[in-house]
């Protein structure tokens, strides 16, 4: 299976970060209806599942066609060579989406598509029934303006489920969004990073994974590992190469604070699950008491806001106190994700830039407050 079509999805507002990640893997994809599509091979498909930090899911594109009636839908689906991808005993689950299309009844699209897939497989496998008792194949039929794209989900559970966060705290931040926040900031592995409201530790842990070059899929498995065409030696090679590239000796300056002792216990537990307990310092402490001896560091936080845990009045005073604390760190930059639109007024800080992002279904703003730039290092002149 040399050339395959691949599609990558990510959350609204995060697409540009995902595209930059893809570019680092040598991929220049085209954004089509909320997906980034391109051609590749199995090695690329496996690698992207294993390494992309901000993607939601990665699909194989099995077919694309126009359909204005259910008869056309059936005929086009039945002509896709599903026998090349699915096994006779595989469980087939189909879901559908439809936007601005003549075929808008999602339940009908789903049932007709499933019927066409089963008919094709019965014919090609010369069978009278499909047991559907083994591995699961999740197929999506996505309509947009009468063009249908048939996708095979290769990820399985969403890619934000890294495998280290087995317990959750109040209003948890998805790992993929946390990684996007870090990549949208000026932080790099040589800088100090502080999360003043670390919760279950997602932002500090994602930063440590970036700093240590730990693949996002290091602890987890993927749906494609049960597929008919799975190449186990190839995936073993990808995992071995990923292990070799992890920098376990690096010294990081990453700290997570939270006022809740239970949150700190969770954070430490999750870091331990990933095997990086010694790389992050978690501490129970009120945000108002946060201090740092580091210079030119970065704060990245997802604090409580109106829809999350506190009243608007409490949020206003919390952000006011955050602004007072931040002013004691004159060299630091801050990146704050919140749905509280009056962050700049409440905090008294000058926002250089803001970006619209979604935390789940909640529309938020990612506010950027820039600190002083570190002085440029003078070049060393060799006089010998």
Query: Residue 176 burial (CB < 10 Å; 0-12/13-18/19+)?
Result: buried
Burial of 96 (0-12, 13-18, 19+ CB in 10 A): buried
Q: How many CB atoms lie within 10 A of CB 171?
A: 16
Same domain, 198 and 346: yes
> What is the pTM (predicted TM-score) of this model?
0.93
How many distinct structural domains can be found in the chain? 2
Phi-psi region of 116 (alpha: psi -120 to 50; beta: other; left: phi over 0): alpha
Full domain range(s) for residue 182: 175-217+245-369
55 found inside a domain: yes
Same domain, 277 and 309: yes
pLDDT score of 10: 95
Does some domain include residue 180?
yes
Same domain for 147 and 187? no
The predicted pLDDT at position 146 comes to 96
Q: Do 202 and 127 fall into the same domain? A: no
Within the chain, where are the H helices? 15-24, 42-51, 70-78, 106-124, 175-183, 202-212, 232-244, 261-274, 312-326, 343-347
Summarize pLDDT for 283-304 with one digit per residue, the tens: 999 999 999 999 999 999 999 8
**Domain co-membership, 65 together with 105:** yes
**What's the whole-number mean pLDDT along residues 37-41?**
95
Query: Could you tell me the CATH number of the domain that includes residue 15?
Result: 3.30.2130.30
More confident: 381 or 203: 203
Task: Measure the CA–CA gap between 354 and 337, rounded to whole angstroms.
Answer: 9
Distance of alpha carbon 2 from alpha carbon 299, whole angstroms:
44
In this structure, the answer to whether residues 146 and 190 fall within a common structural domain is no
Provide the pLDDT for residue 381. 58
Are the C-beta atoms of 110 and 104 separated by less than 8 Å?
no
Are 90 and 148 in a shared domain?
A: yes
For residues 212 and 330, state if they share a domain.
yes
Domain assignment of residue 100, yes or no: yes
Q: Does residue 280 sit in the same domain as residue 343?
A: yes
Give me the mean pLDDT over the 238-267 stretch. Answer: 96
How far is the CA of 13 from the CAs of 116, 333, 364, 366, in angstroms? 36, 21, 10, 10
Residue 280 has pLDDT above 60, yes or no: yes
Which CATH number do you get for residue 363?
3.40.50.150
Mean pLDDT rounded to a whole number for the chain: 93
Report the pLDDT averaged over residues 255-265.
96
- pLDDT for 252 equals 97
What does the block give as tokens for 116? 């066409």
pLDDT category, 166, cuts 50, 70, 90? confident
Residues 137 and 191 in one domain: no
**Same-domain status, 145 and 188:** no
């Amino acid at each position: 299976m040399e050339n395959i079509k691949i599609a990558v999805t990510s959350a609204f507002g995060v697409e540009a970060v995902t595209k930059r990640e893809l570019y680092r893997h040598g991929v220049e994809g085209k954004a089509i209806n909320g997906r980034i599509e391109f051609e590749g091979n199995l090695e690329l498909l496996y690698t992207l599942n294993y390494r992309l930090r901000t993607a939601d899911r990665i699909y194989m594109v099995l077919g694309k066609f126009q359909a204005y009636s259910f008869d056309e839908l059936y005929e086009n689906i039945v002509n896709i060579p599903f026998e090349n991808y699915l096994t006779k005993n595989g469980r087939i689950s189909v879901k559908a989406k439809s936007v601005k299309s003549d075929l808008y009844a999602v339940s009908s699209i789903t049932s007709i598509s499933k019927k066409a897939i089963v008919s094709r497989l019965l014919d090609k496998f010369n069978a009278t029934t499909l047991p559907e008792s083994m591995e699961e194949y999740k197929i999506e039929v996505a309509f947009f303006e009468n063009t249908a794209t048939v996708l095979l989900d290769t990820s399985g559970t969403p890619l934000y489920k890294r495998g280290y966060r087995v317990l959750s705290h109040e209003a948890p931040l998805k790992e993929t969004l946390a990684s996007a926040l870090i990549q949208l900031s000026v932080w790099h592995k040589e800088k100090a990073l502080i999360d003043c409201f670390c919760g279950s530790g997602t932002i500090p842990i994602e930063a440590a994974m970036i700093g240590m070059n730990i693949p996002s899929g290091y602890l987890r498995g993927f749906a494609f590992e049960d597929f008919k065409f799975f190449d186990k030696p190839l995936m073993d090679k990808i995992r071995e190469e990923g292990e070799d590239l992890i920098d376990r000796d690096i010294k990081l300056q990453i700290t997570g604070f939270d006022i809740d002792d239970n949150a700190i216990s969770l954070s430490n537990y999750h870091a331990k699950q990933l095997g990086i307990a010694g790389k992050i310092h978690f501490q129970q402490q009120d945000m108002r008491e946060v201090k740092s001896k580091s210079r030119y560091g970065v704060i990245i936080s997802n604090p409580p806001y109106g829809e999350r845990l506190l009243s608007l009045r409490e949020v206003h005073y919390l952000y006011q106190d955050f602004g007072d604390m931040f002013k004691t760190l004159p060299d630091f930059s801050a990146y704050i994700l919140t749905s509280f639109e009056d962050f700049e007024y409440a905090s008294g800080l000058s926002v250089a830039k803001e970006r619209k992002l979604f935390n789940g279904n909640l529309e938020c703003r990612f506010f950027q407050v820039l600190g002083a730039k570190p002085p440029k290092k003078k070049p060393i002149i060799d006089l010998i």
